[in-house]
Chains A and B, each alone.
Chain A
Amino acid sequence: MLITINGQGMEVALDPRTSLLDLLREHLELHGTKKGCDQGACGACTVLADGERILSCLALAVQYEGRSISTVEGLADDGRLHPLQQAFIDHDGFQCGYCTPGQICSAIGMAAEIGRGVPSAVTADLAATTIPPTRDELRERMSGNLCRCGAHNGIIDAITEIYSAEAAE
């Protein structure tokens, strides 16, 4: 089957049992995406499928035939870190770093959701078409990404720096 990973089309032959996460890590040697729980509970395996954040551990790779997958390895531009990657460093958004690739991919997908007006469980006015990226909104929307080291405050600070600035523009 044909699948695009970080902009590059690839032909892969797979047992249908292979998860998208195992395709990335075991077959393509892209170890940036992490396996935490392998059952949907931690968010470490978050990648973007055509820009939407998903959990690669609960995805069979065959379901994503023909789709375009982005992982943390694809974010830097010619050796220059993605602004959100730099913000994670600046704000101590990690300790051990295990959850970080998932946090960053999730935040990028999350920002696109806020941008197109998707409400969240803490959005007071469901009819509103623009939703300010307040701390409460960001925390609720990032709740699918756990950090065992407790770096959540730095993580939200980093995301706030990048996406509140964008929203203000």
Chain B
Amino acid sequence: MTPFSYARAGDAATATGLGMAEGAKYLGGGTNLVDLMRETIERPDRLVDVTGLSRMIAERDDGSLMIGAAVRNTAVAEHQAVRERYPVLARAILSGASGQIRNMATVGGNILQRTRCAYFYDDAARCNKRVPGAGCDAIDGFNRTHAILGASPACVATHPSDMCVALAALGAVVHLENTAGARTLPLVDLHRLPMGRPEVETLLEPGELITAIELPPLPWAVRSTYRKVRDRASYAFALVSVAAVLDRSGDGMVRDVRLALGGVAHKPWRAFAAEAALRGRPASEACFRAAAEAELADAAPLRDNGFKIELARRTIVAVLNELAGETA
């Protein structure tokens, strides 16, 4: 680790004041940042500990839920309103990492965790994300875990978060703040596709702090779930994951649907094409399959990850079947 100074911020104004400085980084639970600092992939010279920021989960009158950026992952998943009203979010969080890590990890840190591409971690490898312009050893290398959607010739890495896949499906809104002011951004717009600049991962401005996540009211999200497919039964990153929310009418039609995929792209992937193909159609396996095909039409396999296309297709169909089979 390179040397750094450490300061705690008790509120957003103090945090952004300290966080604006060149070389400063916010510190959540540290479960990703401390590891990357130890590998000297991240070399901040100031850490601003933001775990003292809002740890509130507040149910608002309009039915939305506000979750402070410093709330621990475990606390989100165990919250009664999340379990009952947004089960997809509780399930996504509980399928990620381990009990210990979920106790440490914050909402803000989970959203901004970096890729698990092995070449990104290996400083003997070429990686455009770590060293812009260096090249990418994953494209012709061992790329079983890499992206099938939205990748570029510069980077084929995936975003590793489970929680973000559920947030993408739920239409979550991210609340941001820096010394210039506050704004909001839909979660699905926060992360970028790699294009020519994989080192720029989000639309965050300098010193911008995540202060909260807002879940819009979505009464039909009571019928929602998350399925994660991975190499072992627990404590492994997703090969493919699916977050789904289904509103089926009494006559068996899809009134509305939200679908997002994990493990397939540089960002949590909201499946807009599949959603469009499903709205107003019968909630049947044939329609689910057609929707999955529509979403994956542009999927591009690399040397080792072609299996993800079929896996994503089957997982989408299985999850929608499961939700359609539940009685309202």
Contacts and interface: CB of A to CB of B under 8 A. Distances in A.
A144 B235 contact: yes
Given A52-B103, A113-B99, A118 B35 contact: no
Contacts of B87: 126
B69 to A, nearest CB: 16
Interface string B1-16: 1011110000000000
A15 B91 CA distance: 38
B99 A126 contact: no
Given A16-B5, A106-B100, A113-B74, A120 B94 contact: yes
Interface in A110-169: 110, 113, 116-121, 123, 126-127, 139-145
B278 to A, nearest CB: 25
B77 interface: yes
Nearest to A126: B83
A139 B99 CA distance: 12
A60 B100 CA distance: 15
B47 A16 contact: yes
A5 interface: no
A38 B84 CA distance: 37
A145 B235 CA distance: 9
B97 interface: yes
A46 B5 CA distance: 26
Interface of A is mostly: loop
Given A52-B103, A144-B235, A121 B95 contact: yes
B6 A117 contact: no
Interface in B46-83: 47, 49, 51, 74, 77-78, 83
Contacts of A123: 94
A117 B103 contact: no
A55 interface: yes
A147 to B, nearest CB: 13
B98 interface: yes
Contacts of B98: 43, 143-145
Interface string A17-55: 101000000000000000000111001001000001111
24 contacts: A15-B3, A16-B5, A16-B47, A46-B100, A53-B99, A55-B101, A58-B29, A58-B30, A59-B30, A59-B104, A60-B6, A60-B27, A62-B6, A63-B30, A63-B49, A109-B99, A109-B103, A113-B99, A118-B78, A119-B94, A120-B94, A121-B95, A127-B84, A144-B97
